[in-house]
Chain A
Amino acid sequence: MPSRKKPYFGILVFPGTNCEMDCYHAVKNLLKVDCKYIWHKETKDDDINAIIIPGGFSYGDYLRSGAVAKFSPVMSFVRDFAQRGGLVIGICNGFQILLEENILPGAMLRNNTLKFICKYVSLKVEDINNPFTSGYKAGEIIKMPIRHNEGNYYIDSIGLARLKENNQILLRYGDADGNINSDNNPNGSIENIAGICNEKRNVFGLMPHPEACCEKILGSDDGLKIFRSMIGSIL
């Protein structure tokens, strides 16, 4: 990782990724921060100090979402980058890849509704002591879109206890008043979990798409603070 403090984002692109341009727009055009695409065949990059693994359908979601992408050459770079403390955010399919790669704990199951869900949801910010949600207020209710078929987060009871103990649950599905229960759980995700970080708090995976809600004209600009928080932690 470069020692310089100027934020420089790398956005991974796999065959089938489709949210990379939205991420680029948010970081480069809205937040005026350097940014570039990194093709999945790359094995190193000395410029960047933050990685975005965007959403989409890497390798057509064949076998399991994210199961094939984890073998792309770029993933050994991502693993190493994360181990050295670099910031990594995995959005939707990016989250699924991080789970398949075991960089984050747990796994994704098909939505319990067995439907592809595409809608705005309310989320509760459960933790702000990390580089990704530090720009929000603790307990703040935000609005972001979800669009996925496999967002039903699962982790065994021991893993769940560990997530709670270390405050690794950063976002939960809820309603506009902050109630969190099965009525406002869109996909069956365990304890309404929408986003988690690793123990070192430098890797974040979330199913909602912050890059798709960075401007009011899109219905919400609540997503911008995720990227802004990351930039703030690099500076």
Chain B
Amino acid sequence: MLKVNVYVTLKKEILDAQGLVIKKAIKQIGYENVGEVRFGKFIQIEIDDNGKNEEEIKKEIDYLSDKLLANPNIENYKYEIVRN
């Protein structure tokens, strides 16, 4: 069994209203030195690798991310594979 951590964020060119609000809140707390804040989603998936190699698993995660986890019109994704 392995774990895949998938991170989904809005593309750079898209205004991230939630990120802006979080940035404002950070400043209100008193941290004036804050730069850009981007908001995103974190999805952790357990996968039974069934002896598949890294390339095969990556192919499956890419497929899942493009089809369901992220909307390619507005979002980017990246992921890391964690073996127990």
**Residues on the B chain within 8 Å of A63, using CB:** 41, 68-69
B residues 35-81 with Cβ under 8 Å of A?
Answer: 41, 68-69, 71, 73-74
B-binding segment of A37-45, A105-113, A198-206, A215-223: A105-113
Q: Map CB proximity to B onto A143-163 as digits: 1 under 8 Å, 0 otherwise.
A: 000000000001110000000
Given A63-B68, A67-B68, A107-B73 contact (CB < 8 Å): yes
**CA–CA, A67 to B10, complex, Å?**
15
Q: Does A56 contact B (CB under 8 A)?
A: no
- Please tell me if the beta carbons of B18 and A110 are within 8 angstroms of each other in the complex: yes
- Could you say which interface size class chain B belongs to? 10 to 19
Q: Does A188 contact B (CB under 8 A)?
A: yes
Min C-beta distance of B69 to chain A, whole Å? 7
Q: Does B34 contact A (CB under 8 A)?
A: no
**CA–CA, A67 to B1, complex, Å?**
27
Q: Does B26 contact A (CB under 8 A)?
A: no
**Residues on the A chain within 8 Å of B18, using CB:** 110, 114
- Please tell me if the beta carbons of B73 and A154 are within 8 angstroms of each other in the complex: yes
Min C-beta distance of B79 to chain A, whole Å? 16
- Please tell me if the beta carbons of A188 and B74 are within 8 angstroms of each other in the complex: no
Min C-beta distance of A58 to chain B, whole Å? 14
**CA–CA, A154 to B11, complex, Å?**
12
**CB-defined A-B contacts under 8 Å, sample of 24:** A63-B41, A63-B68, A63-B69, A64-B71, A67-B68, A71-B68, A99-B73, A106-B73, A107-B71, A107-B73, A109-B10, A109-B14, A109-B74, A110-B17, A111-B17, A112-B15, A112-B17, A114-B21, A154-B14, A154-B73, A155-B73, A156-B73, A188-B15, A188-B17
